[in-house]
Amino acid sequence: MENPAQYSQLIKQKARELDFLDCGIARAETLENDKERLKAWLENGFHGEMGYMENHFEKRVDPRKLVDGARTLIIVLQNYHTDAIQSDPQAPLVSKYAYGKDYHKIVRKKLKTMLSWMQTEFGEVSGRVFVDSAPVMERAWGRLAGLGWIGKHSLLLNRKYGSFFFIGVIVSDLDLSPDKPMNEYCGDCTRCIDACPTNAILPGRSVDGSRCISYLTIELKKDSIPEEFRQQMENRVFGCDICQDVCPWNKNSHTHSETGLKPRPGLLEMTREDWINLDEQSFNRIFEGSAFKRTKYSGLRRNIDFLNSK
């Protein structure tokens, strides 16, 4: 009979077989330090209109409230980095993570495959999979699982892989050997802070989400983006990669091999005029099954018009 350490090694081997960048394990417990940070972040209103961040606070900081009998969290990293770029230098810019199909479905499917394999391999195992769609603090767990440290831009950073990855989680009642947290390696570097055009990155590895371009172009549901940001959008129409693009650790990033995340046909070839003239029918055709559906056509149209109005 395998022991927790052997189980852990088998799970990490399976993660590699599923083409995840890396896999780490953390013990299910209350995130005491992150609990206080989250509380202060919410009290300062840094979540903007993301009211869902206030919901299920106790579940967010204690995974044992999500899965009965939870003992460990299995954390995986899914690479989404690509060197592919949009062909028209004047076209509105799109975050790399949205080039392909909706990552939630892709990573969730792979995690369900892993959980099913665990149940076959180890016997009766109870667990749930999470991909950025439930009250789980993925970055905090990634740090505790030894997969990186929290950078000054508040993202999980890995010395080998950078930060262009999604984080998936399995909360399980399986007894596993936890990994040790990684040391921090940002040092005195402030490139992400200096490069952020909206000054959203704050001291203490925190971000004022209400000022982040990703929030303004995706999460903000108002009919218009606040005028104070008109000269600060850097031609971004959906998401933002600026703080990651300037990070020295992302020099280590390599192109992913996940078919579903490859750029959808025609997206990178869209010209500035194509974007300006985008109608709802074209939106539904080009962005079917993608992360763009989060803004719907009306939200993307608002973003396009904001970039092209004076």
**Model confidence pLDDT, tens digit, residues 62-99:** 999 999 999 999 999 999 999 999 999 999 999 999 99
Contact indicator for 87, 269 with CB cutoff of 8 Å: yes
Q: What is the pLDDT of residue 133?
A: 80
Of 62-66, 101-105, 167-171, 203-207, minimum mean pLDDT range: 203-207
Mean pLDDT of the chain: 96
Residue 1 pLDDT > 70, yes or no? Answer: no
The structure's pTM equals 0.96
- Start-to-end CA distance of the chain, whole Å, equals 69
- Measured torsion, CA atoms of residues 47, 53, 57, 63, in degrees rounded to the nearest 10: -120
Inter-helix orientation angle 103-122/4-17, to 10°:
140
**Residue 283: how many other CB atoms lie within 10 Å:** 18
Q: Residue 170 belongs to what H/E stretch? A: strand 165-172
Pairing mode of beta strands 165-172, 236-238? unpaired
Q: What is the 3-state secondary structure (H, E, C) of 126-167?
A: CEEEECCCCCCCHHHHHHHCCCCEECCCCCEEECCCECCEEE
Query: Per residue in 12-70, pLDDT tens?
Result: 999 999 999 999 999 999 999 999 999 999 999 999 999 999 999 999 999 999 999 99
| Catalytic residue annotation | 132
CA–CA distance, 144 with 167 (Å, rounded to integer): 13
Listed in sequence order, the residues at least 6 apart from 20 whose beta carbon sits closer than 8 Å to its beta carbon are 76, 77, 78, 110, 168
Please report, rounded to a whole number, the percentage of residues in the chain having pLDDT higher than 90. Answer: 97
Contact indicator for 178, 165 with CB cutoff of 8 Å: no
Q: What is the pLDDT of residue 156?
A: 98
Token look-up 């999470």 returns: 130
Contact indicator for 216, 225 with CB cutoff of 8 Å: yes
Query: Per residue in 118-144, pLDDT tens?
Result: 999 999 999 999 999 889 999 999 999
Residue 241 pLDDT > 90, yes or no? Answer: yes
